[in-house]
Structure 1
Amino acid sequence: MKHHFTIHPNFKHKLLFQVGFMLVFCVHLFSQSSQSIDSIQKQYELGQYEDQERLNLLTELSTNHYDPAQAIYFSDKLIENAQKVDSTIYIYYGYLHKGNAFLKKGDLEEALDSYFKGAEIVADKKSLTNLGMINIAIADVYSNIGDHQNAVIYYKKAISINSEIGTDNNLAIAYENLGDEYLNVSKPDSAILMFNQSGPIFKRLGFTEGIAMNIGNKGIAYAMMGQDDLAKEEINHSINMFEDMGGYQNAVSVFLTYMSELYMNQGNWKRALEYAQKSLAIAEKYGLKDEISSANLQLSKIYEYSGNLKASLISYKNYSAYKDSVNNISAVQQMANLRTEFEVAQNQKEADLKMAQKQIEVNLLSTSQRNQKIAIIAIAIVLVLIIVLAISLYKRNRFIEKTNKIIEKERNLSDKLLLNILPEQTAQELKDEGKVVAKKFDSVSVMFTDFKGFTKHSEGLSPVELVKTVDFYYSKFDSIIKSYGLEKIKTIGDSYMAAGGLPFPSDNHASKLVLAAIDIAEFVQNASKENPNDEQRFEMRIGINTGPVVAGVVGTNKFAYDIWGDTVNIASRMESSSQPGKVNISDNTFKLIKEEFNCTYRGEIETKNRGKMKMYFVDGLKTQDQHAEISPA
């Protein structure tokens, strides 16, 4: 049976070749054509190197490693080593490669976090080359979350910048990824125009990965235009090129799924099944979430069209489970099971009806005597089907009633979980409008905390002990922040971030946040003194700054409430310039709380990428009466 070719919504593998291509032109590293990633990794693990050579090896590994988890690990090592030698450009590469690896795994929140950190460094350096590159990365994330409009905007910005500075490699990548975005919204003609721009550049530069991706993308465009034979030829060519190069499992898995779709289009179920199973095996081996989901959905369609509804149900459940796994809510899986069972039951009824109709049509072609017998049989079948349909409708109504009750219960649970993630006003806006509009706040106080020597001390702890120790501190921090009516923003490793003055503006947010910081510092100090079980304890630095910020929600699935702006960056600098056990505040915060707190002026202190800034240590409240005026909410 012939069916309409459909583009897979999670066809996202652009950055797999972007950064690798960028580094060929930006730094002199080891050639992947002469040395495999495995041998480079062994060379790194066995050798002792000078700083520059170590940075080069880590850059190659974080850029081109075929395992996303390993790429993340080497990106972190690159950032760590680059920070030791204060190499801004390699720190930027580390965050960019880390974001690429998370994007490859489908962890969009982590990818965005890495790109934001890289973008901050680009803004400081004002490098057009890096700015063009990070615009491509940001556009890719927008593409992954289905925001077509913003994805196109950022791809076109990247094209404009790279055209201006003549960076052909990134210009070709921007064209290629924009073409892929047009495929995602079923615009193959526009996609072909972009691929015809990028393809010649890839060939001129001799970039094999880009050439292979360009050929495969054109194949998909041809498939969408109904040119199946040409599509198979191009996609197979691309798969063979990637398999010859090795280390491109994401692209291979995606293209294998498309080959399966093409063979299913032509009614070749056996070949379609082989390609889909091979795609799933590769995706599962390397933990590629989007590709696992797509392959299971394709298998479900193949089994359904070939009449194996039981196998179709199993594959569709696996597709639903992976599709919703990022939400980390077990109830979603239960609802997925209910929906798929109902849909398969409906498909079974339709299949029964079709089989009965085919049988009737075949029998009507025989002799008149046989026709009379068939007519009697057909009437009996129709009567039976009417009875079955009536029973099915009754059961369906009962099923819908039961499902609605489950949905209501899960909706209440989801609302409760949502309030644990977002402020109440923001959560309500998300439910009512389906999105949250970013808001600017003119005066917000931002606090960062960080444990001294956390990485070194935590290496001796087991994962269970490490989580228990961090939870011991953060649970108390949450309680203190809540008691003062403040807002916890997020935790990043051993760093804790909170703010006052949002989502509802207030006049005394700086005083409340300083009081909360003092309580937190006292708790950390007392925890070190009163430790009868001799558990791992840490010293902590605290920094606070006040100023304007922009607040909003990041992501569409694994979303989070976050704030941005120079105020946040300066608050981070206040923390890194503080001392263990001290609350270090900026001049902006001091001006708001100087009448209520005793503070020690530290002078103008040099900060990274910010120059000299005035800083103060908070010594405590001036009087007990003033403490009462700004007591916890």
Structure 2
Amino acid sequence: MHNHLEKARLLCLGFFVLLSGCLYAQDQQVADSLLAQYRMGNTKGQARMELLRQLAFNESRNLPQAIRYAEELIAMASKENDYLYLHRGYYQLGNKKRLLGELEPALSAFIKSAGAAQQARFLPGEGTAYTAIADIFSLSNNHPNAMTYYQRAIATLRRSGDTASLASTLSNAGDEYLNYQRYDSALLLFEEAAHLFAKINHPTGKAYSMGNIGMVYANQGQNYQAETQINAAIRILEQTEDYHPVCVYLIAMSEIYHNKGNIPTALKYAQRSLGLAQQYQLKDQISEAHLQLSVLYEQTGAPAQSLEHFKTHIAYRDSVNNINSVQKIADLRTDFEVAQKQTEVNLLRQSRRNQQIIVVSLFIIVGLLAVLMTTLYRNLSTISREKKRSESLLLNILPADTAQELKRNGKVEAVRFEQVTVLFTDFVQFSRLAGTIEPEQLVRSIDYYFRGFDAITTKYGLEKIKTVGDSYMCAGGIPIATPDHARKAVLAAREMIELVRKEWTATDELSHFEVRIGLHTGPVVAGIVGTTKWQYDIWGDTVNIASRMESKSEPGKINISETTYQQIRADFPCTYRGELEVKNRGLLKMYFLEDFTTQPAQQHPDTKAASGYAHT
């Protein structure tokens, strides 16, 4: 498929967040009917707040007006200390800001929405807020963080019993898999979402499911099936005046007819998408429609019109996706997570002060009442054991230096490291195998391999960051900078490959896989995150590129970037793969690390032999 279709598919992310917490799609007619009641000003208290929520949700023609409704709701809920409606106000504000392409304010609103839902102990709202946060990270091409929040949202919503919101989140997570070309996993999630929407008789949810399944078919080149599904979705969504996804699906249809060679029909679909996007001020869709029209006019021999549309596309694209906005989003997430941990640390410090007071009092009693010495001794021993236990648990989830900083200062400052090597692993065809074996056996198998990876990571002084599904992530050079982080990461990757290779032919009760590994070296920002437990995490473009190195690797291979290669070329023979296309990064140089069974390849013209190896 043309690269433009992949951009159109990416824009599907976050549609379902509009449905979360409500069994009905947006309805402009509802907003129009409520406007008279709003202007009369007769409603008070919660009735007034519910009116504002309905207006903010259903107003789809005038997004700035919908934002004003949400802001009025936030002000009123704050004054009344009503955390439930405070959550709802921030949630609607985030939705409208996201539709306008203002990702930074949208993320800030969703974070506040999650916090208010926690205060209100409202699980459905907390889950949908996590979904919205995941959507923003997905739009920012931060796949690890997006999947972390999608998994958190799905777990929360399964406990809540909110079927509509769970179906919405499953669909968004499925689209994230679709974005990384994991079509089997994407279809499984889309199908579960479709089943849930059918169960609750939700026509708009059905339309989204049909549209998303159509996008899968489109990416697989099955144009007839894609066209059937997408056209049916458009008809339903136009009836409900939900134009944001309609714009995206129209671009998808344009691309399908473009691939068929039917340029006039492709132009009609693209122009129709542009008209709707301009009418409802949807910046990201305006950008994509201009890009599609630029491509089409170029093929019709109209270079002047093609250039004009391309210039407009660039202007809108830069206003929505800029580097400063993405960096601020990362900073907001760090501030949010660390602020939550700061509250917990303050409570812990207060608890320790209370324990100190108790210990002093006990010693006074011991001096006065010797007969209670044995009892007091047991109490003091218990306190000491619990203190050692809590410190041991802290060291299990945080690096030692980070744990010491947390105990010493009550917080941990985010730190930038200029040179870190990030390692990603991923099991080949894991999603396909997961559907054919028992879940218990699958968990035992993954646990076996990840325990082995943990031992290797510890052996070479690397820091384990997280596991996401069947992916394992670690890094060298943090939390203490070391000059040989790249070399140690390569040694660890080789042992991981050898562990998997050795187990491939084993006859036991476990399931065995092949593994891909990718490495990249560059700067990262590190700090503490987590809402229910502490977690040491890293952010930055280095993480995204390392993930791309893994996805571009092959079974049983270690794929490294140019920067990592320059670090280890004197110690390890490598095979130059050339410049490979990477989504949103263009062409990147890549190398396969050779193992003992591989003969040295021909020397690359841009490099020279070093330490006895001919590096290629």
* Distance apart, 1:300 and its partner CA: 1.0
Aligned partners of 1:550 and 1:565 also within 8 Å: no
Please name the residue that 2:37 is paired with: 43
1:23 maps to amino acid: C
Residue 565 to residue 82, structure 1, CA distance change in 2 (3 Å): farther
* Distance apart, 1:21 and its partner CA: 4.4
2:290 maps to amino acid: N
Aligned partners of 1:179 and 1:192 also within 8 Å: yes
Aligned partners of 1:188 and 1:224 also within 8 Å: no
SS in 2 for 1:8: helix
Please name the residue that 2:149 is paired with: 154
Alignment partner of 1:88 out of 64, 83, 89 = 83
Number of aligned residues: 352
Residue 224 to residue 91, structure 1, CA distance change in 2 (3 Å): same
Deviation per CA, 1:346-371, whole angstroms, max 9, x where unpaired?
xxxxxxxxxxxxxxxxxxxxxxxxxx
Please name the residue that 2:244 is paired with: 250
Residue 124 to residue 214, structure 1, CA distance change in 2 (3 Å): same
* Distance apart, 1:46 and its partner CA: 2.9
Mapping for residues 460-499 of structure 1, pairs under 5 Å:
none
Please name the residue that 1:276 is paired with: 270
Alignment partner of 1:128 out of 113, 123, 128 = 123
Residue 327 to residue 244, structure 1, CA distance change in 2 (3 Å): closer
2-structure distance, mates of 1:32, 1:285: 17
| Residue 320 (structure 1) aligned with residue 314 (structure 2) | yes
Structure 1 unaligned regions, length at least 5? 26-30, 329-413, 445-545, 554-560, 567-633
Aligned partners of 1:10 and 1:290 also within 8 Å: no
Please name the residue that 1:59 is paired with: 53
Please name the residue that 1:106 is paired with: 101
Please name the residue that 2:6 is paired with: 7
| Residue 200 (structure 1) aligned with residue 195 (structure 2) | yes
1-structure distance, mates of 2:109, 2:92: 9
2-structure distance, mates of 1:23, 1:9: 26
Asked which structure has the greater CA Rg, the reply is 1
| Residue 23 (structure 1) aligned with residue 19 (structure 2) | no
* Distance apart, 1:50 and its partner CA: 2.7
Deviation per CA, 1:442-491, whole angstroms, max 9, x where unpaired?
xx9xxxxxxxxxxxxxxxxxxxxxxxxxxxxxxxxxxxxxxxxxxxxxxx
TM-score scaled by length of structure 1: 0.50
Aligned partners of 2:9 and 2:248 also within 8 Å: no
* Distance apart, 1:187 and its partner CA: 3.0
Deviation per CA, 1:23-43, whole angstroms, max 9, x where unpaired?
349xxxxx9779522122233
Mapping for residues 233-248 of structure 1, pairs under 5 Å:
233-246=228-241, 248=242
SS in 1 for 2:22: helix
SS in 2 for 1:7: helix
SS in 1 for 2:301: coil
* Distance apart, 1:114 and its partner CA: 0.8
Mapping for residues 225-624 of structure 1, pairs under 5 Å:
225-246=220-241, 248-326=242-320, 548=411, 550-551=413-414
Please name the residue that 2:542 is paired with: none
* Distance apart, 1:250 and its partner CA: 0.8
2-structure distance, mates of 1:564, 1:115: 20
2-structure distance, mates of 1:84, 1:136: 27
Please name the residue that 1:214 is paired with: 209
* Distance apart, 1:183 and its partner CA: 2.5
Deviation per CA, 1:295-346, whole angstroms, max 9, x where unpaired?
1111111112222222111111111111112479xxxxxxxxxxxxxxxxxx
| Residue 186 (structure 1) aligned with residue 185 (structure 2) | no
Aligned partners of 2:21 and 2:124 also within 8 Å: no
Residue 214 to residue 57, structure 1, CA distance change in 2 (3 Å): same
Residue 125 to residue 310, structure 1, CA distance change in 2 (3 Å): same
Please name the residue that 2:430 is paired with: none
Aligned partners of 1:257 and 1:298 also within 8 Å: yes
Please name the residue that 2:134 is paired with: 139
* Distance apart, 1:161 and its partner CA: 2.0
* Distance apart, 1:156 and its partner CA: 1.8
1-structure distance, mates of 2:233, 2:247: 12
TM-score scaled by length of structure 2: 0.52
SS in 2 for 1:6: helix
2-structure distance, mates of 1:307, 1:271: 16
Aligned partners of 1:292 and 1:319 also within 8 Å: yes
2-structure distance, mates of 1:208, 1:155: 24
* Distance apart, 1:5 and its partner CA: 7.4
* Structure ranking higher on relative contact order (CA contacts 8 Å, 6+ apart): 2
Residue 143 to residue 51, structure 1, CA distance change in 2 (3 Å): same
Deviation per CA, 1:46-90, whole angstroms, max 9, x where unpaired?
341132221111111112221322221111011122223321100
Deviation per CA, 1:260-285, whole angstroms, max 9, x where unpaired?
11111111111100110111111112
Aligned partners of 2:290 and 2:312 also within 8 Å: yes
Please name the residue that 1:597 is paired with: none
The farther-off stretch of 304-313 and 125-134 is 125-134
Aligned partners of 1:13 and 1:250 also within 8 Å: no
SS in 2 for 1:102: helix
1:306 maps to amino acid: T
The percent of aligned pairs where both chains have the same amino acid is 35
Structure 2 unaligned regions, length at least 5? 343-408, 417-524, 531-616
Aligned partners of 1:250 and 1:288 also within 8 Å: yes
Please name the residue that 2:460 is paired with: none
* Distance apart, 1:124 and its partner CA: 3.0
The farther-off stretch of 183-192 and 72-81 is 183-192
* Distance apart, 1:551 and its partner CA: 4.9
SS in 2 for 1:23: coil
Residue 438 to residue 110, structure 1, CA distance change in 2 (3 Å): closer
2-structure distance, mates of 1:115, 1:268: 42
Question: Cα RMSD (Å) of the superposition?
Answer: 3.7
2:237 maps to amino acid: F
2-structure distance, mates of 1:72, 1:234: 33
SS in 2 for 1:132: helix
1-structure distance, mates of 2:226, 2:415: 42
SS in 2 for 1:70: helix
2:245 maps to amino acid: A
